[in-house]
Structure 1
Amino acid sequence: MTAIPPEDRAQDVLAPPAMAAIFLTLTVRPGGEDAVREALSGLAGLTRAIGFRVPEAQLSCVVGVGARLWDRMYDAPRPVRLHTFEPVVGAQHTAVSTPGDLLFHVRATRQDLCFELCYQVMRGLDGSVDAVDEVHGFRYWDERDLLGFVDGTESPTSRVAAAAAGFVGDEDPYYVGGSYVIVQKYLHDLAAWDKLSVEEQELAVGRRKLSDIELPDGVKPPNSHVAATTIVDPDGTERQILRHNMPFGNVAAGEFGTYFIGYAADPAVIEHMLQRMFIGEPPGNTDRILDFSTAVTGSLFFVPPADFLEDPDTVVAAASSRGLATANNDTMPSDGSLGIGSLRRSNGS
Structure 2
Amino acid sequence: MSRRVPIESQRIDAPLTSTATFLVLSINDSADAVKTVRSALAGISGLTKNVAIRDLNASFACTVGIGSQVWDRLTSLQRPEELHSFPEIKGKTHTAVSTPGDLLFHIRSERRDLNFEFERQLMEQLDGSVKVIDETIGFRYFDVRDLLGFVDGTANPVGAAINDSILVTESDDAHGIGGSYVVIQKYLHDLKGWKSLTTEQQESIIGRTKSDNMELDDAPADKQKSHKTLSTIVDEDGNEHDILRDNMPFGSPSAGEFGTYFIGYTKKLWVLEKMLLRMFVGEPPGLHDKILDYSRAVTGTTFFVPSATVLDALDSD
TM over 0.5: yes
TM-score, structure 1 length as denominator?
0.86
**TM alignment of 1:63-78, pairs within 5 A:** 63-78=64-79
Question: Matched residues in 1 for 2:5 and 2:271: separation?
Answer: 25
- 1:219 deviation in Å? 8.9
Residue 50 of structure 1 is matched in structure 2 by 51
Deviations 1:289-332 (A, max 9, x none): 00000000000000000010001477x8xxxxxxxxxxxxxxxx
Q: Is the 8 A contact 2:38 2:314 kept in 1?
A: no
- 1:217 deviation in Å? 2.6
Deviations 1:211-267 (A, max 9, x none): 101102359974311111111112211110011000001111100000000000011
Residue 103 of structure 1 is matched in structure 2 by 104
Question: Matched residues in 1 for 2:228 and 2:5: separation?
Answer: 35
Residue 35 of structure 1 is matched in structure 2 by 36
Question: Matched residues in 2 for 1:81 and 1:216: separation?
Answer: 34
Deviations 1:156-203 (A, max 9, x none): 011x21111101112211321100000000000000000111011000
Residue 333 of structure 1 is matched in structure 2 by none
Residue 129 of structure 2 is matched in structure 1 by 128
Residues 36/217 of structure 1: CA separation in 2 closer, same or farther (3 Å cut): same
Residue 311 of structure 2 is matched in structure 1 by 309
Q: Is the 8 A contact 2:188 2:297 kept in 1?
A: yes
Q: Is the 8 A contact 2:219 2:226 kept in 1?
A: no
**Is 1:280 aligned with 2:279?**
no
Q: Which amino acid aligns with 1:145?
A: D
**Is 1:166 aligned with 2:166?**
yes
Residue 13 of structure 1 is matched in structure 2 by 12
Deviations 1:46-75 (A, max 9, x none): 011011011111110000000111111111
Residues 214/188 of structure 1: CA separation in 2 closer, same or farther (3 Å cut): same
Deviations 1:136-164 (A, max 9, x none): 00000000000000000001011x21111
Residue 330 of structure 1 is matched in structure 2 by none
Corresponding residue SS for 2:98: coil
Percentage of identical aligned residues: 50
Residue 21 of structure 2 is matched in structure 1 by 22
Q: Is the 8 A contact 1:9 1:176 kept in 2?
A: no
Q: Which segments of structure 1 move beyond 4 Å, counting only runs of 4 or more?
A: 1-5, 218-221
Q: Which amino acid aligns with 1:281?
A: E
Q: Is the 8 A contact 2:15 2:59 kept in 1?
A: no
- 1:4 deviation in Å? 8.4
- 1:115 deviation in Å? 1.1
Q: Which amino acid aligns with 2:11?
A: D
Deviations 1:262-301 (A, max 9, x none): 0000111000000000001211010010000000000000
Question: Matched residues in 2 for 1:236 and 1:3: separation?
Answer: 36
Q: Which amino acid aligns with 1:190?
A: L
Aligned residues: 312
**Is 1:234 aligned with 2:236?**
yes
Q: Which amino acid aligns with 2:165?
A: A
Question: Matched residues in 1 for 2:40 and 2:177: separation?
Answer: 22
**TM alignment of 1:106-117, pairs within 5 A:** 106-117=107-118
Question: Matched residues in 2 for 1:136 and 1:43: separation?
Answer: 20
**TM alignment of 1:257-296, pairs within 5 A:** 257-296=259-298
Q: Which amino acid aligns with 1:99?
A: P
Q: Which amino acid aligns with 1:29?
A: N
Residue 255 of structure 2 is matched in structure 1 by 253
Residue 188 of structure 1 is matched in structure 2 by 189
Supply the RMSD in Å over aligned alpha carbons: 1.9
Corresponding residue SS for 1:175: coil
Q: Is the 8 A contact 2:181 2:265 kept in 1?
A: yes
Q: Which amino acid aligns with 1:82?
A: L
Q: Which amino acid aligns with 1:308?
A: V
Question: Matched residues in 2 for 1:44 and 1:154: separation?
Answer: 30
